[in-house]
């Protein structure tokens, strides 16, 4: 149980275009999803937390107009990187949790999306 998928696994796009990454919880309802960014050989950096049906909460320094997050259903959240630039190239990972309210999140991670902007 607790399987999370992410699509695409790898994407190459040109500078100035937008890219959408999907995160799905396959066998449970995810009330909360998290989006992370990871640079090579570094730890995960939390970008934003999204709760189903409400606006995402972005971490300090993360541009909400550049990284659009939508959590329209209990099984799907999307991250859209708008007007991508080479510095946006990174490994993006989502995680899903089915806990809320108590603020204790047991997270299950997707396999990640490697974005390369040329």
Partner 1 sequence: GIQVEQSPPDLILQEGANSTLRCNFSDSVNNLQWFHQNPWGQLINLFYIPSGTKQNGRLSATTVATERYSLLYISSSQTTDSGVYFCAVEGMNRDDKIIFGKGTRLHILP
- Beta carbon nearer to partner 1, 81 or 93: 93
Of the candidate residues 11, 13, 46, 74, the single one contacting partner 1 (CB under 8 A): 46
The span from the CA of 97 to the CA of 64, in Å, is: 22
Interface pick for partner 1 out of 81, 84, 93, 96 (rule CB under 8 A): 93
Q: Which is nearer to partner 1, 79 or 93 (CB)?
A: 93
Beta strands, E only, 39-75: 44-51, 57-58, 67-73
For the chain, how many residues are written?
Answer: 118
Q: Does 34 bind partner 1 (CB under 8 A)?
A: yes
Out of 43, 54, 65, 101, the residue judged to bind partner 1 by CB under 8 A? 43
Of 4, 3, 13, 5, the C-alpha closest to 90 is 13
Other beta carbons less than 10 A from residue 30's beta carbon: 30
State the number of binding residues for partner 1 (CB under 8 A): 23
End-to-end CA distance of the chain: 37
Binding site for partner 1 (CB under 8 A): 2, 34, 38, 42-46, 49, 59, 91, 93, 95, 103-109, 111-112, 114
């Amino acid at each position: 149980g607790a399987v999370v998928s992410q699509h695409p696994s790898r994407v190459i796009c040109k500078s100035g275009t937008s890219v959408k990454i999907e995160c799905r919880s396959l066998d449970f309802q995810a009330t909360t999803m998290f989006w992370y960014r990871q640079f090579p050989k570094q730890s995960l950096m939390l970008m934003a937390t999204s709760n189903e049906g409400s606006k995402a909460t972005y971490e300090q320094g993360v541009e909400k107009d550049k990284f659009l997050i939508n959590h329209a259903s209990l099984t799907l959240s999307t991250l859209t990187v708008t007007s991508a630039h080479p510095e946006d190239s990174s490994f993006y990972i989502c995680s899903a949790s089915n806990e809320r309210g108590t603020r204790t999140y047991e997270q299950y991670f997707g396999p990640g999306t490697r974005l390369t902007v040329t």
